[in-house]
Amino acid sequence: MAQIHAARTALLVVVLGMLGAHAAAAAEGSAKKAAAIPSMPDDFSGTWTHDVMGGVNPGRSKPDDKVFTMTDGTVIPLLPQAEKIYRERVAMSMTEHAFANTSSRCLPIGTPGNMMGAPYPVQIVQRPEFIAILFEEGWQFRAVFMNRKHPDELIPSFMGHSTGHWEGKTLVIDTVSMREETTLNFTGLPHSTQMHVVERIKRLGPDRLEDVIEVTDPQTYSRPFTFTSILNKSDEDLIEYICENSKVQVTPDGRQTYGDSPK
């Protein structure tokens, strides 16, 4: 009996030793993993609303404008074919049957249009390895994968694929692979699937963010150009937004119609 008791005691010591070693190894692994995740120089978590009067966006345009400009007077560097498309869409906007952008069809406006001035709150949920940007409009979200590379193969999507990293206290978001039916504004400023968007988000004050959005698309624009979006801290909660698409129809030339035919 004494020998059995001693054997059991010895086995228990071995098991406890193994468990202790496993726990120590797990703790060490967790510590290494935590150390490998960069810290967050700033925290933008919370709800924000776009300052619709702030920032720099495409200005109001008329179809006979010689050039199309941003609100600060900067010329939008459209290539000839893209300018023709945009001029046609601007002309549509002057009628009862405006260009039917994706939002009017209950589809996502897409990146970066979703960051540029819609009057709905945006919520940022921030972790060191992942950031989610939640939009009340359309009940949609963007996923930003921190400190990662884009996959070699991507299927174009409305939001695109976003990776992020910190440069000091500025959050840099790199987005590629957007579907070309999305537009850069509600009037229909076009882009191709080759568009590359780089955002630099920084704090202007305790309750104010600036998002500088650089667009590069050699198939649509002759050079990169930038938008600027301003967001203010808000106490609003996001509420459910359901887009009901039984009334809006789209004509073959891309106009909105509500059952009547555009002339």
Has residue 263 been placed in a domain? no
Has residue 116 been placed in a domain? yes
Has residue 262 been placed in a domain? no
Going by the DSSP 8-state scheme, the letter that residue 131 receives in this structure is E
- What confidence score (pLDDT) does residue 67 get? 94
96, 106, 124: which is closest to 201 by C-alpha? 124
Residue 193: how many CB atoms within 10 A of its CB? 15
* Residue 106 vs residue 131, higher pLDDT: 131
Same domain membership, residue 246 and residue 139 = yes
* Residue 134 vs residue 250, higher pLDDT: 134
Has residue 102 been placed in a domain? yes
- What confidence score (pLDDT) does residue 260 get? 56
- Condensed to tens digits (0 to 9), the pLDDT of residues 171-213 reads 999 999 999 999 999 889 999 999 999 999 999 999 999 999 9
Question: Which amino acid does the sequence have at 52?
Answer: V
The CA angle 159-45-162, to the nearest 5 degrees, is: 25
Residue 13 pLDDT grade (very low, low, confident, very high; cuts 50, 70, 90): very low
74, 86, 67: which is closest to 191 by C-alpha? 86
- Structural domain range at position 138: 46-257
DSSP character string of 218-248 = TTTBSS-EEEEEEEEEE-PPP-------SS-
- What distance in Å separates the CA atoms of residue 159 and residue 179, rounded to the nearest whole number? 8
* Mean predicted lDDT score pLDDT of the chain: 85
Same domain membership, residue 59 and residue 19 = no
Same domain membership, residue 96 and residue 152 = yes
- What distance in Å separates the CA atoms of residue 123 and residue 251, rounded to the nearest whole number? 35
- What confidence score (pLDDT) does residue 69 get? 94
Same domain membership, residue 102 and residue 219 = yes
The pair of three-digit structure tokens given for residue 31, joined into one six-digit string:
């510590």
Same domain membership, residue 227 and residue 124 = yes
State the average pLDDT over residues 221-235: 96
Same domain membership, residue 57 and residue 2 = no
Has residue 169 been placed in a domain? yes
**For the chain, what percentages of helix, strand and coil (3-state, to nearest 5) are there?**
20, 30, 45
Residue 144 pLDDT grade (very low, low, confident, very high; cuts 50, 70, 90): very high
Of 29-43, 72-86, 116-130, 249-263, the range with the highest mean pLDDT is 72-86
- What confidence score (pLDDT) does residue 242 get? 83
Q: Under a CB-based contact definition with an 8 Å cutoff, are residues 140 and 125 in contact?
A: no
Same domain membership, residue 122 and residue 84 = yes
- Condensed to tens digits (0 to 9), the pLDDT of residues 23-77 reads 555 545 544 444 445 678 999 999 999 998 888 988 888 889 999 999 999 999 9
Has residue 182 been placed in a domain? yes
Phi/psi region, residue 93 (left: phi>0; alpha: psi -120 to 50; beta: rest), is alpha
The pair of three-digit structure tokens given for residue 69, joined into one six-digit string:
């400009």
Report the percent of the chain where pLDDT is more than 90.
59
Q: Under a CB-based contact definition with an 8 Å cutoff, are residues 182 and 160 in contact?
A: no
Same domain membership, residue 190 and residue 128 = yes
Same domain membership, residue 167 and residue 59 = yes
Domain total for the chain?
2
* Residue 26 vs residue 169, higher pLDDT: 169
For residue 220, what are the contacts with CB-CB under 8 A and spacing of at least 6? 78, 79, 82, 190, 191, 192, 195
User: Is the four-CA dihedral 56, 47, 42, 232 of positive or negative sign?
Assistant: positive
Same domain membership, residue 208 and residue 123 = yes
Same domain membership, residue 32 and residue 91 = no
- What confidence score (pLDDT) does residue 25 get? 53
Same domain membership, residue 225 and residue 163 = yes
